[in-house]
Amino acid sequence: MKIPNSLQTLIKDGLIDEVLYQLMSGKEATVYVVRSGGEIRCAKVYKDSMKRSFKNAAQYQEGNKVKNSRRARAMKKGSKFGRKQQEDVWQNAEVDALFKCADAGVRVPKPYGCFDGVLLMELVTNDEGEVAPRLNDVSMSAEQALDDHSEVMNDVKRMLCAGIIHGDLSEFNVLVDDYGPVIIDMPQAVDASANNNAKSMLIRDVNNMTNYYGQFAPELLLTQYAEEMWALYEEAKLTADSELTGIYINDDAEVDVDAVMDAINAAYAEEEERKARISLALEDID
């Protein structure tokens, strides 16, 4: 395994003792499992901006505040120095968001810091020490789907109370350990009060999660947690203790009941087909 220069630098600086193996490679970073301070952690090595495939980055960066005026001017001009500063902002955004989320009580990997383009953080595992799977690889009962969806909605609420919207939340950016969902991958997190796309991103995040859990508990497809949260947030009434119902009445819009019922029936049918496929596969094994 070839060890990236950035990790070799951290080894020389004593921040990492050993690189054990590559865990995964995504659109904006490659994650390695490392030994650090006698503990097993993960190191997220961000890819160069020219190699990242994250789409529409500008809309995520809207509203990001840069305190240093020289840095802000350079970033606006797009100079070499400015591009370097933009990379620093991008790379530090995730660790800042993780610290804020952890302080707000959101289940996220514990961050240790970002060093020269490498984010060191907790490796999320189960009680046996195995790396926790992504949500998209997990099957569950309707009861478990309802419980876990509720946990995620409460975490999204806590994030919004802290002024943060994930911006790319889906079943691919959630891990599942023995205690429930853990939200990951937050370099594109946005400022809820400063980004004009904040509401649409919140709705997309919540819909992504609801549609996934709705495969197992189709009644979730009737809920409107994002609209409920955003309405409370705009009225400055949303708190970490707010009891969410998933019900939102928009007086200016008519509810298409038939469309909703069609979506629920389709989800039920898909779930029955999935169970049938699993049953046939088990019969073949026997």
| 285 pLDDT more than 70 | no
At 34, is the secondary structure helix, strand, or coil?
strand
Q: Check residue 127 and give its pLDDT.
A: 92
Q: Is there a contact between 182 and 107 (Cβ–Cβ < 8 Å)?
A: yes
| 239 pLDDT more than 80 | yes
What whole-number distance in Å separates Cα of residue 178 and Cα of residue 126?
A: 5
CATH architecture type of domain 135-285: Orthogonal Bundle (1.10)
Angle at 134 between CA 49 and CA 204, to 5 degrees: 65
DSSP state, residue 244: P
Q: Helix-strand-coil percent breakdown of the chain, rounded to 5?
A: 45, 15, 35
pLDDT tens-digit profile of 23-82?
Answer: 999 888 999 999 998 899 999 999 876 554 545 455 545 555 545 555 445 445 555 554
pTM metric for this prediction: 0.78
Q: Which of 86-95, 122-131, 133-142, 153-162 has the lowest mean pLDDT?
A: 86-95
pLDDT tens-digit profile of 68-85?
Answer: 555 445 445 555 554 566
Sorted by sequence, the CB contacts under 8 Å of residue 20 that are 6+ apart come out as 32, 33, 34, 35, 40
Q: Check residue 96 and give its pLDDT.
A: 93
Q: What percent of the chain has pLDDT above 90?
A: 66
The CB-based long-range contact list for 28-31 (8 Å cut-off, 24+ gap) reads 28/52, 28/53, 28/54, 28/187, 29/119, 29/187, 30/4
